[in-house]
Amino acid sequence: MLSNGNFAEQALDKARTNLKLVDECGNLWESFLVFGTTLNEGCMIGGGWKRFVDARNLTEGVCIRISAPAAGDNDTLFLRVYDD
C-alpha cells in the first residue's frame, strides 16, 4: 500500500490499472494499481508486488525506495531495496 503522502497522486494516473515495477537490477514485474475510494486511503499495488517480494526474499522492516520517471501519468515505478 502506498500511503497518502501525495506521491501516488503526483506520479500515477487514477485511471490507470496496469503498472510495471522495475528493481535496481532491471527485473520487471507486471502489476495492477487500485486507488482507494477516500482521500486518505492512498493506493494499493497488486499482482506483481507479491512476486517482487518473494523474488527478492523481502522481510518486514526492509526499506524500499519507490520512484517514478516524472510527475504525471507513469506506467512504471522503480524500486530500490536497502538491506541495511
Indicate whether 80 pLDDT > 60. yes
2-55: per-residue pLDDT in tens? 554 577 777 777 777 788 999 999 999 999 888 777 666 667 888 888 899 999
| pLDDT for 4 | 47
- Evaluated on CA atoms 4, 21, 67, 83, the torsion sign reads positive
Name the grid cell of 50: 507479491
Look at the pTM and tell me if it is higher than 0.85.
no
CATH number at residue 55: 2.40.330.10
Please report whether residue 68 resides in a domain.
Answer: yes
CB distance 78 to 64 below 8 Å: no
Please report whether residue 2 resides in a domain.
Answer: no
The total of structural domains in the chain comes to: 1
- Evaluated on CA atoms 8, 13, 18, 20, the torsion sign reads negative
